[in-house]
Amino acid sequence: MDTVALLPLVHNAALLLALVFLHDVLTRQWLRQHLLLRDVPLGLVLGGIGMAVMLTPWVLEPGVIFDTRTVLLAISGLFFGPLPTLIAMAMTAALRLQMGGPAAVTGVATIIAAGGLGIGWRLWWRGRGRELVELSGLQLYLFGFLLHLLVLALMLLLPRPTAHQVLSQISLPFLLIHPLATSLLGVLMINRLRQERMVDRLRQSESCYRELSQNLERRVEERTRQLEEVNRELDSFAYSVSHDLRAPLRAMSNYSTILLRQHAAALGEDGRRICGNIGAACRNMVELIEGLLQFSRLGRAELRKRPVDMAAMVDSVYREVRAAFAAEPPPTAGTPPRPPAVAPEFFRGELPAAEGDPGLLGQVWYNLLHNAVKFSAGATPPRIRVSGRREEGMAVYLVEDNGVGFPERESRRLFQVFQRLHGDDEFPGSGAGLAIVRRIVERHGGRVWARSVPDRGAGFYFSLPAAAPAQSGA
């Protein structure tokens, strides 16, 4: 092997690969954005690279030079097509003729052979229905080997002494370096095609995602309009319920009360019982309607959050609960018993402050304390305890009593609207109170749960975002 020829050819091949890589980095985005006009400037760039490697050749003798222009032109024809390759061929051929020498015509012939073979291989490969990205490194090496066998065969166009000298000195390093450079440059182009294909797929995915997002937004807007319309209809229905249904029910309840007061003797025992049942049923229905309306409005009520002194609120609400029970009329025939007038033993521990809407949180305490008084009325003596603690940024509160309790496995039912574990003949109520508690607490970002043992009392827990520790009260 002629090592004198090998090293310059390696340098020339390295220069070619470096220039092509630089071209790939600098022009990738530009070429993708100007697809219709890219072929002419691409051909000029490729021609410039070919001229650059021709200006740093290995010189066998004056006028007889070797470089890697054939590698560039063959790969250009294979991957970039006819127009850019023809432009690059014209530029390199013009430079070779200008450089002159006895091998000038042969040099132009190698340029034509390299570019033509690249274009022909491209047409043949695609004619088989194959994509260029399917070319393997071995196939590219064989392509480069055949190309440079053809180039060596063209050396026979030189005068016989010159041709003999060229073939004896250049054949082995030429066939060692140039096919390998062809394979490496081809692999670079294939990786670029794969990257472009991935970019195209990403853009298609992005376009599909954007379209789906827009469709989803439109559907959300449409569903929002439908929900708003449904809410308006529900508001209208609620208005109808509150005004059209409650008035007749109250009239029936009032008439049954009048009958009991003014004609009790004439009604007899059965009549008094029936009138009492009518009044109780009417009052129960009114309470159910009011609970339903209150529950439905909670989902749309605006939260006005601020730090709330829970200790002061519990004290105030408990007084309201006791006053409400004290103001209830005595039970009439057919109505369930109410708690006795004796006040439960009430204990309140220190309560951390919470962040929330004072009006809605007051409703939570009222419902829980009201239930505690009601369900502990049969205990001797009735006891109610309220406590609280801070836990991982949340304020956790507990309302417990020593009343009738319930099976803990049924605790989930308690927080569903109109779900009750005791009949009206035991404890009056609509069944909406704990559902209202759950909705208010969850709207504040907390949760509610219960623990109980039958006949040993119950404990109702709920958590809320805690306020600053300095705002806690006792």
Angle (CA) 70-76-78 rounded to 5° is: 105
Q: Which residues contact 268 (CB under 8 A, 6 or more apart)?
A: none
Q: Amino acid letter at 189?
A: M
Q: For 391, phi and psi rounded to 5 degrees?
A: -150, 105
Nearest alpha carbon to residue 285 among 331, 317, 241: 241
Decide: 295 and 436 in contact? Cβ < 8 Å.
Answer: yes
Both tokens of 283, joined, read 């009052």
- What is the rounded CA–CA span in Å between residue 326 and residue 324? 5
Both tokens of 334, joined, read 């057919």
Cis status of the peptide bond prior to 84, with omega within 30 of 0: no
Nearest alpha carbon to residue 339 among 435, 405, 426: 426
Cis status of the peptide bond prior to 352, with omega within 30 of 0: no
Q: Helix, strand or coil for residue 25?
A: helix
- What is the rounded CA–CA span in Å between residue 312 and residue 316? 6
**Predicted structure pTM score:** 0.47
Per-residue pLDDT of the chain (474 residues; tens, 9 = 90+): 455 555 565 655 666 665 565 556 545 555 554 454 677 888 888 888 888 888 888 787 888 888 888 888 998 898 888 988 999 999 999 999 999 888 899 999 999 999 999 999 999 998 888 888 888 889 999 999 999 899 999 988 888 888 888 888 888 888 888 888 888 888 888 888 888 788 888 888 888 888 888 888 888 888 888 887 877 777 677 666 666 777 777 788 787 888 878 877 777 777 878 887 787 777 767 766 766 666 666 666 677 889 999 999 999 999 988 887 776 655 544 445 455 556 788 999 999 999 998 888 988 998 899 888 888 887 888 899 999 999 888 999 999 998 888 877 776 777 776 565 555 555 555 567 788 888 889 988 999 998 888 878 889 999 999 987 654 443
Decide: 57 and 67 in contact? Cβ < 8 Å.
Answer: yes
Both tokens of 455, joined, read 């006949």
Count the Cβ atoms, other than its own, within 10 Å of residue 152.
18
